[in-house]
Structure 1
Amino acid sequence: MNKRKTLKPEGNRRLAFIFFKSYCIYYSKRSVDGWLYRTRNFRHKHRTFPQAQHVFRSSLVPVAATTGWYFHNFFKLLNLEIMEQTNTPAWTVASEVELIYKSKVKASERPAIRSSRDCYQLFINQWDDNKLDFVEQFKVALLNRANQVLGIYEVSTGGVSGTIADPKLIFVAALKANACGILLCHCHPSGNLAPSKADIRLTEKIVAAGRFLDINILDHIILSREGYLSFADEGLL
């Protein structure tokens, strides 16, 4: 299994241990030097005790050496433990994905779709009036099992003669809302309601993908300011 070293908070903790280790060694040495310095002064002041420096040196130096040995091995074990923690498998480092859908509309207040006329009224009321005759837009309505509208999702905004609708984005929205049905809709700024070959191919592609996910494509509406065309009514689904 491939493993890799990751510099997480453990790396910062290891750096802190190194600084603390250096701090302890420095002050342990400094304390020994202080004892020896005071021993020299004691010897100069009290020359009747020439063995004082030897006594203090022989008693303090082994203690400092033993303390340094314990510190060295203690931090060595800590560093080893940190290295074992950071050598985690690469597959354990992954982001969690969570899907949440929250509706602000009560179930009893959701509009129900019964016909293509209902589809047209739903979309025309939600469409941006400033863009209806200006550029093409593609939107979808997400329905539950009772054909009640869960929400409307704007897939894309294009130019005067076309727009790109990515089926992946459509089904991402449908799966996130846990929808059972989808209504497709796009506008023709020219006012010509006849579907193009690209419109028919895209509809067939989305219908085929919906069968695998058990999500029904109920209709595809082409709308303009003066009317609409329903793929379901025309037998194009």
Structure 2
Amino acid sequence: MKQNEFPLSAVAEIKLSYHPHFKANERPKISEPKQCYKIFMDNWDLGLIEIQEQFKIMLLNRANRVIGISEISKGGIDGAVVDARLIFAIALKAGACSIVLVHNHPSGNLTPSKHDLNLTKRICECGKLLQIDIHDHLIISVDGYLSMAKEGLM
């Protein structure tokens, strides 16, 4: 064997694991955007909400109980890069059946941009392929939120 060659068996094994801290029936159940907003705000770094755009997801089980929240990215004042592959890698690892997307607008303006709408559409299309529903995409600020699902933008 040459010095730079490796045997075909020299590959890393990949295992999936998930260790929840609460029983499924103890987790909050989501039935409306206002509940999502409250949970996100309770878990948001309020020192950054008016300075830096952040994008997070809420992972839900089949009964719409919260599995957890995961930060996808932090950006600048007016944008954050969002990689759909990362969203769905996390969702698949956690065994999520559905997702709520959320990001803040540091300006406080809750109107979705064209980029926000295109991103939401693309993530929803990816979710359909994986049978993971995207329930909503919230845009949040300290003063309130906009639900894209409630506004008919999804």
- 1:175 to partner: Cα distance: 0.7
- 2:130 pairs with 198, 203, 213, which one? 213
1:148 and 2:148 aligned: no
- 1:115 pairs with 27, 32, 47, which one? 32
- 1:174 pairs with 91, 95, 107, which one? 91
User: Helix, strand or coil: the match of 2:99?
Assistant: strand
User: 1 CA distance for matches of 2:153 and 2:84?
Assistant: 18
Which structure 2 residue ranges, 5 or more long, are not aligned? none
1:194 and 2:102 aligned: no
- 1:5 to partner: Cα distance: 5.2
- 1:236 to partner: Cα distance: 1.0
Q: Deviation per CA, 1:120-156, whole angstroms, max 9, x where unpaired?
A: 1111111101011111000000000000000100001
Which structure 1 residue ranges, 5 or more long, are not aligned? 8-86
Query: For residue 125 of structure 1, what is the aligned residue in structure 2?
Result: 42
Query: For residue 10 of structure 2, what is the aligned residue in structure 1?
Result: 93
Q: Deviation per CA, 1:19-64, whole angstroms, max 9, x where unpaired?
A: xxxxxxxxxxxxxxxxxxxxxxxxxxxxxxxxxxxxxxxxxxxxxx
Q: Deviation per CA, 1:179-201, whole angstroms, max 9, x where unpaired?
A: 10000000001010000000001
User: 1 CA distance for matches of 2:135 and 2:7?
Assistant: 44
- 1:222 pairs with 128, 135, 139, which one? 139
Greater share of residues in strand: 2
Query: For residue 34 of structure 1, what is the aligned residue in structure 2?
Result: none
User: Helix, strand or coil: the match of 1:234?
Assistant: coil
Structure 2 counterparts to residues 4-43 of structure 1, below 5 A: 4=1
Query: For residue 50 of structure 1, what is the aligned residue in structure 2?
Result: none
TM (normalized to structure 2)?
Answer: 0.95
Query: For residue 135 of structure 1, what is the aligned residue in structure 2?
Result: 52
Q: CA RMSD in A?
A: 1.6
Greater share of residues in helix: 1
Task: Flag the structure with larger Rg.
Answer: 1
Query: For residue 150 of structure 2, what is the aligned residue in structure 1?
Result: 233
TM (normalized to structure 1)?
Answer: 0.63
Q: Relative contact order: is structure 1 or structure 2 higher (C-alpha 8 Å, sep ≥ 6)?
A: 2
